[in-house]
Structure 1
């Protein structure tokens, strides 16, 4: 069963649904429907983004409603469960999968500090609020400083099923990269072998050096004299692949000191996992999760 969230276009689960029967503004309509709530409580529900009109979140008190429109109010308990997440936004959830949009600066899983509020720890707490027996498993990780789409499974079997057939089930892995300088060639492909050194830096070689073959496709979205915004498609998913290949291209990812960047005006790594499309492990349907690129990536290349 698909679950809908505050940012979902249609979030009927855990919501009260009402049909509009006469032209009216949103706040008076809610006050009329929520007879057991005070005016201030109704305003709070609006402010917290718990109200949608025909699937679109609305916070304006005077938003005009038309006959036939559908108003959904997400229940407080469901809203509070999501509001507890920090730096994580749920994009999709069903019986076996959860896809999130992770902010830069949030670790995927714990490293040394077991108490750190990682993406995994937060989603684990989130599912346990529904049932203490619930569990989650990380299907793939993002670097701490990379934001974007990240996938969890609700059982170890589903995690293994996806990981063991990752290259077959994943149909798209798209990133947005803000890189230094003007990339002259508007689109291209980088193919090399990547091998990690003892100092944990990944090095690229044009011929087989005993490492892993990596293929990255890129296309310019927009650029100015200082920066280029690239759409990057991964054909393979190796450790630090995009970061290494951008350094090799001569245009390191902004903020990536490890791989050649000398400037960081956005105060983070200029890398974002924009989209992930895969064959659903139980239904066989093609599903696609998308998290739009951060606004400062776009503004830096205008």
Structure 2
């Protein structure tokens, strides 16, 4: 596999005329301090008109700046697994993860059956090599959209910039919209299970009830924070665990995994500056629980 150098090009706007290159890169291009250091140390990492630039150089309006990103090596074992690709370019890869698939290898049994393994096989097939950076991580049994950055620039530029909406089926009847603002910590004596507690990490979840069916509620949720199991823990904390989420008190009668799905994603591409919006259809097992509710809302969820 041949690792090809990737270049990103920026044009200096009038508002940055005369500023130092490092200020332009940090404040306009959203280049991280770590990447900037790597670019400074790389021969021809920063150039304009074929000439090497230094971080303290002054830039001019209309000047074209080229970033030659450092080469990176993929370290994840490639395994040919089904991979549903919704979007791909040289910078980003958007996937639709099925339930039951871990997102990355672990030391406790999942070393070759993960989304990262499948990504690695895909990049090998395309003749690419890059560090797999997952911009959002879903639990093994949560389904839906996962965005992968193919380089350090896009990973940093998109951090906390991707708008995501989740769909879930909670037990019981909820109405309207509400916010859950409760800290989350690892439950004492456990390694996986979480709980709400005042001494935990700050976590905020917003939800809106969309429809009801058979004592279940179809919810749309948005997160302000990204704590492990956040939606699952928060819904259980108010007495409405997700259907199928046995770890947090959910009933397994209708579904064998937590009824949680990353349904939509929106972001501005950090290189092209184009707005992208994607939707992942509700999986059949979640449709089965709240089939009528799903039909009522499906035009909004497509």
Give the TM-score normalised by structure 1.
0.64
Task: Give runs of ≥4 in structure 1 deviating > 4 Å.
Answer: none
- The secondary structure found in structure 2 opposite 1:212 is coil
Deviation (angstroms), 1:253: 0.6
- Cα RMSD for the two superposed structures: 1.9
Distance in 1, Cα, partners of 2:272 & 2:128: 26
Unaligned 5+ segments in structure 2 are: 1-79, 293-302
Counting only pairs closer than 5 Å after superposition, residues 35-74 of structure 1 correspond to structure 2 as none
Counting only pairs closer than 5 Å after superposition, residues 203-282 of structure 1 correspond to structure 2 as 203-205=195-197, 209-282=198-271
Q: Choose which of 90, 102, 106 in structure 2 pairs with 1:107.
A: 102
Distance in 1, Cα, partners of 2:199 & 2:182: 11
- Residue in 2 aligned with 1:192? 182
Deviation (angstroms), 1:193: 1.2
Distance in 2, Cα, partners of 1:235 & 1:139: 15
- Residue in 2 aligned with 1:92? 87
Determine if the alignment matches structure 1 residue 128 to structure 2 residue 118: no
Deviation (angstroms), 1:285: 2.5
Q: Choose which of 146, 164, 175 in structure 2 pairs with 1:173.
A: 164
Deviation (angstroms), 1:279: 2.3
User: Are the counterparts in 2 of residues 158 and 281 from structure 1 also a CA contact under 8 Å?
Assistant: yes
User: Are the counterparts in 1 of residues 205 and 223 from structure 2 also a CA contact under 8 Å?
Assistant: yes
Deviation (angstroms), 1:100: 0.4
User: Are the counterparts in 1 of residues 100 and 140 from structure 2 also a CA contact under 8 Å?
Assistant: yes
> How many residues get paired?
209
Distance in 2, Cα, partners of 1:186 & 1:89: 34
Unaligned 5+ segments in structure 1 are: 1-83
User: Are the counterparts in 2 of residues 229 and 297 from structure 1 also a CA contact under 8 Å?
Assistant: no
- The secondary structure found in structure 1 opposite 2:243 is coil
- The secondary structure found in structure 2 opposite 1:141 is coil
User: Are the counterparts in 1 of residues 102 and 110 from structure 2 also a CA contact under 8 Å?
Assistant: no
